[in-house]
């Protein structure tokens, strides 16, 4: 049947296709609603006639993004099927503005599939960022880590099967309930869910999870989703990159420091209220080095 709904050829091309992430995970676009035009169309309802200056879709979308006029972006929806390690799911689920339906370990028997990081992303504890990963571990230490991780995951799955009473292809009647058996599985086991959200909240998710401070593993998922969003709503994506993802937000004091530098004044006075961490961040983002007086 021919549809009267909006379709985006670039998105149709990836619909239903499994896009691999990490060692066993994936993202699959199940469905989408709307396109760039739907965002502009919704915005025009609120602006009404006579606003010719914002009549072009690109200009209008950029205006909306720049001024955080967010509701038109909520007119577009994306539904994904995602397979992801449980520890990634725990971070992801914190994004409350989405609808989620997860595989149930109470009904189903979970697969023997667990995440093992690649050698090159196995790092030491970062010394500055308490949440982050530092330099790569030596090859021999990384191998030892992977060996233990893998043995523990397999052993846990053996116990899981034992609790379930699975012997070969058979399940004994005296099995422990699936909901109790599954609790032996570690965080690197894979789970799956359907995840649906609107474009506004999706971009918020991407802004947080594409950031270098987000954990590598969830960033890998965010990158794949970002690729799909770029295909789906290229004008919204462009505006998002320009006004949010790669934009800089300055605090009052930071803005004062930048202004001092631009005006050729000593920025130390303006920087008085900045903590050492803020000074370091300003150096990283703007290349402005304000020495502390102390
Ligand atoms: C790098 C990084 C590190 C993190 N570290 C930690 C950590 O150590 N510990 C930890 O617990 N969490 C941590 N988080 C999770 C973080 O605190 C947020 O819970 C998560 O990023 C979801 O953000 P959100 O609430 O803006 O998103 P959503 O839940 O999708 O909400 C979107 C927006 O809706 C609004 N909203 C939603 N629900 C409410 C509500 N109940 N009340 C008011 N407004 C609401 C808010 O404006 C919110 O920004 C971390 C996140 C990141 C990106």
Residue nearest to atom 40 of ligand 1 (CA): 96
Question: For position 47, what pLDDT does the model report?
Answer: 67
Which DSSP helix (H) or strand (E) runs through 28? strand 25-33
Q: How far apart are CA 289 and CA 121, in angstroms?
A: 31
How large is the average pLDDT for residues 161-166?
Answer: 91
Position in ligand 1 atom list of the atom nearest CA 214: 1
Q: Is 96 in the pocket of ligand 1 (CB under 6 A)?
A: yes
User: How far is ligand 1, taken at its centre, from the CA of residue 208, in Å?
Assistant: 9
Question: For position 76, what pLDDT does the model report?
Answer: 98
Q: Decide which of 133 and 161 is more confident.
A: 161
Residue nearest to atom 24 of ligand 1 (CA): 95
Q: How far apart are CA 288 and CA 271, in angstroms?
A: 11
In the annotation, is 133 catalytic?
A: no
| CB distance 34 to 76 below 8 Å | yes
pLDDT at 2 > cutoff 70: yes
How far CA 42 is from CA of 38, 58, 219, 237, in Å, comes to 6, 14, 31, 17
**What are the pLDDT digits (tens) for 252-281?**
999 999 999 999 998 888 888 898 888 988
Q: Is 204 in the pocket of ligand 1 (CB under 6 A)?
A: yes
User: How far is ligand 1, taken at its centre, from the CA of residue 94, in Å?
Assistant: 6
Could you tell me which residues come within 8 angstroms of residue 180 by beta carbon, excluding any fewer than 6 positions away? 163
pLDDT at 53 > cutoff 70: no
Nearest by Cα to 110 from 193, 218, 185, 172? 185
**What are the pLDDT digits (tens) for 190-229?**
999 999 999 999 999 999 999 999 999 999 999 999 999 9
Q: Among residues 28, 62, 182, 209, which one is catalytic?
A: 209
Position in ligand 1 atom list of the atom nearest CA 98: 30
| CB distance 78 to 29 below 8 Å | yes
Q: How far apart are CA 22 and CA 115, in angstroms?
A: 8
Q: Decide which of 245 and 47 is more confident.
A: 245
Question: For position 51, what pLDDT does the model report?
Answer: 54
Instruction: Please state, rounded to an integer, the average pLDDT across all residues of the chain.
Output: 92
| CB distance 34 to 6 below 8 Å | yes
Band the pLDDT of 55: cuts 50, 70, 90. Answer: low
Question: For position 286, what pLDDT does the model report?
Answer: 87
Could you tell me which residues come within 8 angstroms of residue 225 by beta carbon, excluding any fewer than 6 positions away? 27, 80, 202, 205, 206
Q: Decide which of 71 and 48 is more confident.
A: 71
Q: Is 95 in the pocket of ligand 1 (CB under 6 A)?
A: yes
Residue showing tokens 């035009």: 37
Which DSSP helix (H) or strand (E) runs through 253? helix 252-262
pLDDT at 30 > cutoff 90: yes
Question: For position 170, what pLDDT does the model report?
Answer: 65
Band the pLDDT of 171: cuts 50, 70, 90. Answer: low
Rg (the chain; Cα; Å): 24
- Give CB contacts under 8 A, 24+ apart, made by 16-20: 19/224, 19/227, 19/228
**What are the pLDDT digits (tens) for 103-146?**
988 988 999 999 999 999 999 888 777 778 888 899 999 999 99
């Amino acid at each position: 049947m021919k549809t009267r709904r909006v379709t985006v050829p670039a998105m149709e091309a990836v619909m239903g296709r499994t896009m691999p992430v990490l060692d066993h995970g994936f993202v699959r676009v199940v469905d989408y609603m709307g396109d760039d035009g739907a965002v502009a169309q919704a915005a025009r309802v609120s602006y009404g006639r006579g606003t010719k200056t914002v009549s072009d879709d690109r200009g209008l979308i950029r205006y909306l993004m720049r001024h955080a006029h967010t509701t038109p972006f909520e007119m577009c929806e994306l539904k994904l099927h995602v397979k992801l390690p449980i520890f990634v799911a725990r971070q992801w689920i914190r994004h409350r503005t989405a609808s989620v339906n997860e595989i149930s370990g109470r009904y189903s028997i979970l697969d023997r599939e667990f995440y093992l990081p690649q050698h090159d992303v196995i790092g030491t504890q970062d010394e500055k960022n308490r949440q982050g990963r530092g330099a790569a571990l030596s090859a021999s230490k990384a191998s030892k880590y992977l060996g233990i991780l893998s043995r523990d995951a397999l052993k846990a799955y053996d116990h899981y099967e034992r609790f379930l009473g699975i012997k070969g292809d058979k399940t004994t009647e005296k099995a422990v309930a699936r909901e109790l058996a599954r609790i032996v599985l570690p965080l690197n086991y894979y789970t799956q869910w359907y995840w649906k959200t609107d474009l506004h909240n999706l971009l918020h998710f991407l802004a947080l999870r594409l950031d270098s401070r987000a954990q590598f593993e969830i960033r890998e998922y965010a990158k794949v989703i970002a690729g799909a969003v770029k295909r789906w709503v290229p004008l919204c994506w462009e505006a998002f990159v320009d006004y949010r993802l790669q934009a800089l937000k300055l605090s009052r004091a930071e803005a004062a420091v930048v202004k001092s530098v631009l005006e050729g004044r000593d920025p130390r006075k303006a920087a008085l209220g900045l903590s050492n961490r803020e000074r370091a961040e300003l150096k990283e983002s703007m290349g402005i080095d304000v020495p502390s007086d102390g």
